[in-house]
Chains A and B, each alone.
Chain A
Amino acid sequence: QQQVKQSPQSLIVQKGGISIINCAYENTAFDYFPWYQQFPGKGPALLIAIRPDVSEKKEGRFTISFNKSAKQFSLHIMDSQPGDSATYFCAAINGKDSSYKLIFGSGTRLLVRP
């Protein structure tokens, strides 16, 4: 119930294309869903996040779509650029849990070809 399942494991997209990464969860107590971006040799960094009371959040070329009934959320990267090549992790957290732990998906390695 604590898992967040992420797919695909890897993704290759041409420059200018749309990258889509999907995540699914079971625990309905989760109330915050962030996406982290990690470049090689660096630690992950928060990219964008959404709460379950909205269905979509957009920041520049990055959009989270959230489907509460299906318990799924996805990251869309529009006009993908080579600089977007990184590993992306979805995550979820139950803010009422005193541990304050993020539950991470297994990650997606994105390669954007020039």
Chain B
Amino acid sequence: DAGITQSPRYKITETGRQVTLMCHQTWSHSYMFWYRQDLGHGLRLIYYSAAADITDKGEVPDGYVVSRSKTENFPLTLESATRSQTSVYFCASSERGVSYEQYFGPGTRLTVT
């Protein structure tokens, strides 16, 4: 599939479990981003990556880990899920020099019980 995809689309997990959300893009964009969306808070940046093997913290990184060994993939791991991490997670990508536009995936709805 062309574009940016996220998996799973829906996930229910228990407190304390490790969860990995996947993000894959087919454009070879340099930049990739992870956001969480909660009512009243809009889109908050968790982590971003400027290229393979280059990642950095965003606004709300605590409790999350990312890696980027390949340009097209940017997985987000919740090491020990907490109820406060119940949210909708969006992955996005963009390419410097073309435009500032970020292309968003369809999102993953995560519920931590």
Taking beta carbons and an 8 Å cutoff, which residues of A are in contact with B?
Answer: 6, 9, 32, 34, 41-46, 49, 89, 93, 95, 98-102, 104-107
Stretch from B61-69, B71-79, B95-103 contacting the other chain: B95-103
B100 touches A42 (CB 8 A): no
Q: Report the separation of the CA atoms of residues A96 and B40 in the bound assembly, to the nearest whole angstrom.
A: 29
Q: Report the separation of the CA atoms of residues A106 and B59 in the bound assembly, to the nearest whole angstrom.
A: 14
Interface SS of chain B: helix, strand, loop or mixed? Answer: strand
Q: How many contacting A-B pairs (Cβ < 8 A)?
A: 51
Q: Report the separation of the CA atoms of residues A104 and B104 in the bound assembly, to the nearest whole angstrom.
A: 14
Q: Separation in Å of the A20 CB from the closest CB of chain B?
A: 19
Apart from A100-B31, A107-B42: 17 A-B pairs, beta carbons within 8 A: A34-B100, A34-B101, A42-B106, A43-B90, A43-B92, A43-B105, A43-B106, A43-B107, A46-B101, A49-B101, A89-B42, A89-B43, A93-B100, A95-B100, A100-B94, A101-B45, A106-B41
Task: Give the interface size bracket for B toward A.
Answer: 20 to 34
Contacts of A89 in B (CB 8 A): 42-43
